[in-house]
Structure 1
């Protein structure tokens, strides 16, 4: 088979996050052929503007394709080893590109945080991707890499240090400076509307095993929708907005790996709010806030107002200074069947929705293209934790400002 001209194509490069991915690629890999990459989108003039804005010259190719043009997408993906797409919401715009990659044997990564759509894509394209060798990998940004890989890392260290897996893992978000991206909010709004149209989508959102068809896991999974005191962390905890997405990806990773942590494995993801009465008030406030938001999002005019006034316009987002001021920190802890404990810390060095996400997605795509042979990870629909595991942990630790460490 002739070599493909590009290692990586960034699809959606004229959007705000796509432009950050292109900027990161140019700053760290240039256009001298070390990594052969191109940017793609619908409008040649806007692609040229992005190329100029990031400081690249005509050595950076511009490729044209519309997210709804099957023929153009087929021609596009045949040119790349992996396509990284920032064009969402994926439930509205994503399936044609997934189909094109699955059919052509081209690897695919995205930033999807839309579990109901992912649950629909898994049975539709797993067999095709397995036949062609395409590795379709969802959720390669802040949702859900730090969480998915945090569990993989902690379990790896548990086996190495303790000789046994942890029967459950608790993830506690200790620091969060910066917010979700406009794309994440747009995906949330699209998900709410899908849930109102289809009761099955609502059931999938409530099921921690929605991405593992046929598996129910342990009978009692943690309830993340309440305020609760964490005796291990010595702090109150409340709901974390990304937990319904991350939990599903963690359980899918475990299933794809063959359940090495046991069929009774539990995963509990929450936000730390502090100790004492103050911490309890914040935790209960998060519960109340989540309930109010859910009620408001179910109201059509509220969603219309959010789209009109709250969402960043195309090409908009936080300033460079705001992105660089952001950071996050997550504590992972668990214990073996005989009660031995282990804790890990995962830290990100930029705001989660943009500054960190663009680095995570880029390095994940390059890891899949260059570090993971198909003899190790064959074609199929994957999570990053199952497809790349500790290889990706090490790459992100070295290159993407995502640090992993054991807390002694």
Structure 2
């Protein structure tokens, strides 16, 4: 790393989610507790307007940087310990920034939920990141922090209650109020477009172990149909974000040395209730999933109002099933719209946690949970309005 003028540069601070990150850093971290941070984007004028709108100090540094201008990207990277980027789809706008961070040993966190691009970047840059010391954390938002940490948390409880980690965990969305972010929708569309243009990528997209190069685990549940779960007394429907979350959970298991075992099975679904109404709800969820990347999906830069963001929430259930059939259950609950308000807090805490708590994390590509584990759980519970609870 050539310079450490700043601890964090928020790249994309004029975008909807980037502005929420700037607002969170301004309100949550002040005085001696505050990292040295700056805001970056294409327009200094727009950055100044965001700085004033979120109440950041008037002397908050502003940096002009554009993904289409490699020199400006490198100049930005050269000034900081870590780049927090909300500029996606990352497969369209992120490759040069990621390469610059790897080359200079600069830490990097993003909101990427694009498994094909992530696999390509891991294969291309892993060795160089190990050499330079750059710590690269993908998927630091709602995809996939609560799910990755949910599995980690329930497995820690399973070790206590069952004597060992469980080879089978179910992740279930029990309740959620909020919207899919425009960036997530755009990333999904960009991924499908890339696959349509290069059919050799289909196998990566379909592979539940796409992010564990060199390792193939057991067959995983398909997750693409409705079913009734007797143990939960509820119908279940496919979950739109399972495509990325399950891949990150398996990568986390691999990076930690397979504490869940090499025969680990994991899936995610949405619980829709019991009886005929629950079954009907499951069918509605199936239909709604098809709309989330369609023409009515939110656009990048768009998002819910402050009131809508603050009313949002999520309630996630994780069920660890032991070899003898006994279960351990844990809930991960969050306040705020999951795709925007909570995501902005999560990526901010991933960045601060990596800098403050991640001294033992070596260079390379990590999942947030594998890198920080309990330390990240403590940060999210202490700062970001998330609760990690054991259930009877």
TM exceeds 0.5?
A: yes
Cα deviations by residue, 1:247-275 (Å, 9 ceiling, x for unpaired): 00000000111111111100010000000
- What's 1:25 paired with? 25
Q: Helix, strand or coil: the match of 1:348?
A: strand
- What's 2:346 paired with? 360
Q: Tell me how far 1:36 sits from its aligned partner.
A: 0.8
Q: What pairs up with 1:164-203 in 2 under 5 angstroms?
A: 164-203=164-203
Q: How many residues align?
A: 392
- What's 2:5 paired with? 5
Within the candidate set 311, 326, 331, 2:317 is matched to: 331
- What's 1:269 paired with? 268
**In structure 2, distance between residues paired with 1:356 and 1:186:** 19
Kept in 1: contact 2:25–2:348 (CA 8 A)? yes
Q: What pairs up with 1:368-407 in 2 under 5 angstroms?
A: 368-373=354-359, 376-407=360-391
Structure 1: runs of 5+ lacking an equivalent:
298-302
Kept in 2: contact 1:31–1:59 (CA 8 A)? no
Aligned Cα RMSD in Å? 1.7
**In structure 1, distance between residues paired with 2:42 and 2:32:** 25
**In structure 2, distance between residues paired with 1:87 and 1:293:** 23
- What's 2:337 paired with? 351
Moved more, 387-396 or 74-83: 74-83
Distance of aligned partners of 1:43 and 1:66 in 2 relative to their CA distance in 1, 3 Å threshold: same
Distance of aligned partners of 1:293 and 1:20 in 2 relative to their CA distance in 1, 3 Å threshold: closer
Q: Tell me how far 1:30 sits from its aligned partner.
A: 3.1
Cα deviations by residue, 1:106-146 (Å, 9 ceiling, x for unpaired): 11100011111101110111111100111100000000000
Kept in 1: contact 2:2–2:104 (CA 8 A)? no
- Deviating above 6 A after TM superposition, structure 1's stretches of 4 or more consecutive aligned residues are none
Distance of aligned partners of 1:19 and 1:289 in 2 relative to their CA distance in 1, 3 Å threshold: closer
Moved more, 112-121 or 62-71: 62-71
Structure 2: runs of 5+ lacking an equivalent:
none
**In structure 1, distance between residues paired with 2:198 and 2:288:** 25
Q: Helix, strand or coil: the match of 1:47?
A: helix
